[in-house]
Every structure is written in C-alpha cells, then in structure tokens.
Amino acid sequence: MIPDYIPNWIGGEERPAEGGRTLDKFDPATGSRLCAVADSSARDVQEAIAAARSAQPAWAALPAPDRGAALLELALAMRRHRLDIAAMVARETGKSPKDALGETDGAISLGLFFSGEGQRLYGRTLQSGVPHKYGGTIRQPVGVAGLIVAANTPIANIAWKVFPALVCGNAAILKMAEDTPGTGWIFGRMARESGLPDGVLNIVQGVGAVSGAALVESPDVGVVSFTGSTAVGRRIAEVCGRRLARVSLELGGKNPLVVCDDADLDRAVHWSVLSAFSNAGQRCASASRIIVFAPVYEAFRERLLAATDRLSVGPTDADDLGPVINRRQLEAMCAALDRARDQGARIPRGGSRLDDPAHAAGFYMAPTVYENAAMDAEISQKELFGPIVGLYPARDFDEALALANATPYGLTAAIHSASVHRCALFAQRVRAGVVNANAGTYGSEPHCPFGGFGQSGNGSREPGTEALDVYSELKAVYTIVDAAKV
Ligand code: NAD
C-alpha cells in the first residue's frame, strides 16, 4: 500500500528528485525502513513553482463557485478512499487505524466546508461619504501559495492549507514533512482522480532546510503558510519579512490545563490524559502543564497516575497511544527529561523510552508524568512534543492563571471548575488563542478559527472563514454613478 519510492507530484506528473536523490523513511512502530522518498533540490522546487505559476491564471479565472465545485470533487474522492488514506496515515505515523480514520474524516469535513466557501467568497459593501459613489470589497488570489506542513496529523494538516488556498484562486506547492511523505503522495493521487487541473496543486517531498527553504525564498511565492516548530517559523518569518511576502505561522505550544478545587476530578483526569497523551502528545494543542489547586493536588495526582498506569502503548486500535514520529525526537525527549531530573524534577511515571521486547525496536516513549519542576525551568518552558506532562501546584486562581501565562507560547488552554465565573474569567485572562472549559486543550473544527498568541504564531487564524484572509487579497472597488444621466 505504501510504494517503495515516493516521488514528487509536479504539473500533474509524478517526478523523481533531481539526480534521483532519495531519503529513507522509517516505520515509527518498528524502526524498520518503510520506503525511499524524493529528496528534492531547490531546482525541483523551482519546477513546482513554475508549474503553479503557469496553472494559476486559468484557475483564478474560474468563477469561485466552480473552483468550489472542483474542490468538492477532491473532498468526495477523499471520502471514497477514506480507508486508504487512513491506512497510509496509520502506517507512516504509527498511530492507531481508528485515530487515523478520525483524522481523515476531519480532513474531509474541512474539504467539504471550504468547497462551499466557493459559493460564499463574500466581500463587504462600503459606505462612501461622496454622493453617488458606491463601493465594496472583493477577494482576489495572492497568486502562488507555499504550504509547509508538520508530520503529526498529516492529512488534517494538508487539508487545513490546501482547500482554503485553492478555493481563493491560488495555485499551491505543498511541502510534506520528511516523516509523512506517503500521505502527500496519496493526496496527489486523489487530486488527479478528482480532475483538479494539472499544476494547480504540486507536492514536493524532501528536507525542510533544502526544499522548504527554497519555497520560502522564492520571489514567485506570494504567501507562505507554515505549520511547525517555533524555531523554524521564526526563520521563515525572517525570510518572508525581507521580501515582504505574506506569511501565516501555526507554531508550537506549552499548553496549560488548570484543575480548580471545585473541579470534577474524574472528568479533569479524563481530559488531562487525553490532552497529554493522545496522538503520543504530538499535538500543538497537547496539554503539557497541568496546574492543580493545592487542596486537591494529592487527590488529582493519585488519580492521574492511576489513569497513566492503565494506558496501553502500541499501534493498534486497542492502544491509547502509539510511538513518536522518529528516533531523533525520542532521543531529544529522553535527554530533556534527564536534564530535568538533574535539576530536581521527580518523575513518578515514565521518564524513558519503552525498551521491552514489544516496543524496543519502535520509537516508543513511556507516558511520562513529572513534578517538582519550577515554571521557569527548561522542561516547563520548552515544547517537547511527546507524551510528557508536568504537574504544578497553585495556591489559588490568581496563581494558577499567572502560572498558565508564564511561557512565551499562547496556543490553547483549559480550565476545570464547577464555577462559571472562574471559567469565564479564565477565558478572558489566559493568553491563548483557544480556551476550553471542562474539556481538553485540543479539539478544533473545520469552520472555527485556530491559532495562538505570542510565540505560537504570528496572529493569523486558520481554518474557519478566517483562513480566507490568509489566502486572498482584499480589493476595494468604487463606482461613481452619474446622477445627471438617470
Ligand atoms: P518542524 O518545524 O521541524 O518542521 C515542520 C515542517 O517545516 C516540515 O515540513 C519541515 O520539513 C519543514 N522545515 C524544516 N526546516 C525548514 C526550513 N528551514 N525552511 C522551510 N521549511 C522547513 O516541526 P516538526 O517538529 O515536524 O513539527 C512539530 C511542530 O509543529 C511542533 O512545534 C508543533 O507544535 C507544531 N504544530 C503546530 C500546529 C498549529 O496549528 N499551531 C499544528 C501542528 C503542529
């Protein structure tokens, strides 16, 4: 089902990388090599940009409802092949088939939503102070969009960017993450099956610092939309800033979940476990800091540790979480935990990779709970992107809020309390782009905006109709009516 070799998809053709260069892709669940992947050069990326440039004017000239109709065909092709897409996502990420299917269905919903936006690409009417002058705004495409995605939820990440970029009339180059090339490949096949015109969507594989960087640097790419780490996002913003290209950054998080003394502790534990450990903690919206009111700290801790002990780790539908995406990430997490231990953190659960016979070959991190770390310690400030969560006691609401806001990030947050007043005040005062009361830190919907404060992004919001602002230029158009001729 996964091919031995994954090529690029440029101008409606599958093409190898220049010189036949390849990268190896490994199976996170077993550590064995899965396939070879096109290791694209800057020249390969230039070819993809040229294909997009040549296809874009005709695509933009289609009425927006027709673009929407073409994208509906793509969403429907995805729906026909939802099991194949989910199988690919599960195979190359190591997540369970059921989680992969949930992610795939979310991506299809997003495609359906943005197809409909073709019929609603609204502007506004403007009220001029000049007599007989009528005005309004219209949306126009930016041109060529460079879309760079992370590996954690590959088909969702693709849909979040491709559908809004294309419905606005842009042509796109999608740069897949090194660890999830197959999901891009299968998506290209769906695009072909759906009849999307050649060159409107191009998919390049390869190393971020080479093929991703070439996309970001190209003067022919008018808008760059990036989902990934804050460190890479900052570099991309610098390059785009120099050439004044539009850029949308969906970056990392160190998201807090606050448990108050009046919380339903079982519900708080349920959501904490899901927020910290589902998808092996590889969500930008994972909870990585659980801040607990002191009077219920011990009771919450005991239940959280018991729930952590019940988790099953593996790649099947009977498991709660799978492996992390690659060896590098696994080793980086273990090293961060070693440093935290040296600085006095206690680690009552997990703390290392799983090395029993069922897990030793794969990239499995034990679900990890640590405590006794200062909020300004490295482990409390740096996103680890794995199944690792810290417990932090707080005296009262004010201290819990201050701790929640004590990182440079601001992506998502949650509070558990029976008090609607506490929940509402927290929602007002926490520095986060998404806040949930009595739920988890994650959970986005296709028609709702998502994005973060601070170093979690640069202020843009995708998806929802807000994503249309990322991918279109707004033009104000005025007409003066000659009243004398009426
Ligand atoms: P990463 O930043 O290493 O890589 C992301 C993508 O950028 C990959 O496709 C990679 O090839 C590419 N890339 C790397 N260097 C590049 C460069 N110099 N120029 C252009 N492209 C480059 O991130 P990762 O570790 O793969 O993903 C995890 C990160 O993504 C976490 O920080 C997570 O929070 C974040 N994320 C954010 C959201 C969100 O919506 N805010 C969603 C998912 C993941």
pLDDT per position as a tens digit, 377-434: 999 999 999 999 999 999 999 999 999 999 999 999 999 999 999 999 999 999 999 9
CA gap 153, 443 in Å, rounded: 13
- The mean of the pLDDT values for the chain is 97
How many C-beta neighbours within 10 Å does residue 210 have? Answer: 15
Q: Give the count of beta carbons closer than 10 Å to the beta carbon of residue 75.
A: 22
Q: Quick one: pLDDT at residue 369? A: 98
Check residue 1 and give its pLDDT.
Answer: 82
Instruction: Give the residue-averaged pLDDT of 18-28.
Output: 96
430 burial level (CB within 10 Å; 0-12, 13-18, 19+): buried
Closest ligand 1 atom to 160 CA: 40
Band the pLDDT of 26: cuts 50, 70, 90: very high
Q: Token pair for residue 240?
A: 């785009």
pLDDT tops 80 at residue 486: no
Residue nearest to atom 13 of ligand 1 (CA): 208
The DSSP annotation for 198-209 comes to TTSEEEE-S-II
Q: Answer whether 366's CB lies under 8 Å from 257's CB.
A: no
Task: Please work out, in degrees rounded to the nearest 5, the angle formed at the alpha carbon of residue 446 by the alpha carbons of 193 and 438.
Answer: 145
| pLDDT for residue 263 is more than 90 | yes
- Residues in contact with ligand 1 by the CB-under-6-Å rule are 148-152, 175, 177-178, 208-209, 212-213, 216, 227-229, 232, 235-236, 250-253, 284, 383, 385, 411
Q: CA torsion sign, 274 to 279 to 285 to 286?
A: positive
Q: Which of 8, 152, 325 to mutate to test the pocket of ligand 1 (most atoms within 8 A of CB)?
A: 152
Checking if the pLDDT of 97 tops 90, the result is yes
Omega before 463 within 30 of 0, i.e. cis: yes
* Gap from CA of 422 to ligand 1 centroid (Å): 34
Residue 455 CA to ligand 1 center (angstroms) comes to: 14
Say how far apart CA 229 and CA 152 lie, in whole Å.
11
Helices 82-93 and 154-167 sit at what angle, rounded to 10 degrees? 130
Choosing from 8, 204, 221, 227 the residue with most ligand 1 atoms within 8 A of its CB, the one to mutate for a pocket test is 227
First to last CA, the chain: 68
Q: What residue ranges in 263-328 does DSSP mark as E strands?
A: 287-293
Q: Which residues contact 70 (CB under 8 A, 6 or more apart)?
A: 62, 194, 195, 196, 197
Query: pLDDT tens digits, residue range 288-336?
Result: 999 999 999 999 999 999 999 999 999 999 999 999 999 999 999 999 9
- Of 284, 383, 423, 462, catalytic: 284
Kindly report, residue by residue over 151-194, the tens digit of the pLDDT.
999 999 999 999 999 999 999 999 999 999 999 999 999 999 99
Which of 238, 189, 232 has its CA nearest to residue 207? 232
pLDDT of residue 73: 98
Q: Which of 397, 451, 458 is nearest to 258 (CA)?
A: 397
Q: Which atom of ligand 1 is nearest to the CA of 151?
A: 26
Separation of alpha carbons 263 and 265, rounded Å:
6
Summarised one tens digit per residue, pLDDT across range 199-241 is 999 999 999 999 999 999 999 999 999 999 999 999 999 999 9
Reported confidence tier of residue 485, pLDDT bands at 50, 70, 90: confident
Q: How far is CA 70 from CA 56, 79, 158, 168, in A?
A: 14, 14, 17, 12
Report pLDDT for 444.
87
Active site (annotated) includes residue 250? yes
**pLDDT for the residue 64:** 98
